[in-house]
Amino acid sequence: MSSTNILGNLNQVCIATPDFYKTLDELRSVGLGPFQVYRFNSDTVSDQKYYEETGDDLYEMDVAFAYNPDSTAPVIEVMHPKKGKSVIQDYLNQHGNKEGVQSIAYDMSTLTMDERIKAMKDKGYKPATSGYFIGKKGGTKFCFFDTADNGRVPTCFETIEWSSDWVAPDPEWYPNPPNA
């Protein structure tokens, strides 16, 4: 087995939760946040895919990113599935609807998204949930890989590819913007 690191650098840890604001409040109690909140739905995420199923409205999720003034630091993400099919919902179903670390994201920055997917498939990890988050300008491709299916890794891997012109949409801040 090759020891070549195809994952690259850690850039995000994702917590799946059935109770979005309760989880955000718990994380705030230990000093994380405030949170940039987005809604992933058919208006904000195109090219939705769940394993081999594709559609415009496969899933809806509340998504929050803990603000950190250090833009190079890994980010804590919280995801709350509201409807549909996703590896986030699968995680909650498999864990008795209890929150927990569902995935770890790596930049895989030397590869395009298509190359990332191929490299992960070659290692036995299937694309499980993906989409294209639409920004004010540009967009972000994301892909979660099913790692549980092969029994080797107890959490999903995710990779994210920002377009070169990426400008994030305006978030809802919870509870308030930084320094407010």
Instruction: Answer whether 0.85 is exceeded by the pTM.
Output: yes
Query: What average pLDDT does this structure show over 19-32?
Result: 98
* Coil vs helix vs strand at 3: coil
Complete domains list, the chain, with CATH: 10-168 (3.10.180.10)
Closest CA to 41 of 102, 99, 86, 93: 86
Q: Identify whether the C-beta of residue 128 lies closer than 8 Å to the C-beta of residue 150.
A: no
Comparison of pLDDT for 83 and 148, the residue scoring more: 83
Residue range 103-151, pLDDT digits in tens: 999 999 889 999 999 999 998 899 999 999 999 999 999 999 987 666 6
Q: How confident is the model at residue 154 (pLDDT cuts 50, 70, 90)?
A: confident
Number of Cβ atoms within 10 Å of the Cβ of 25: 13
Q: What is the amino acid identity at position 117?
A: I
pLDDT at residue 105, as a whole number: 94
pLDDT at 2 over 60: no
The distance from CA 95 to its chain's CA centroid, rounded to whole angstroms, is 18
Strands 75-84 and 126-134: unpaired
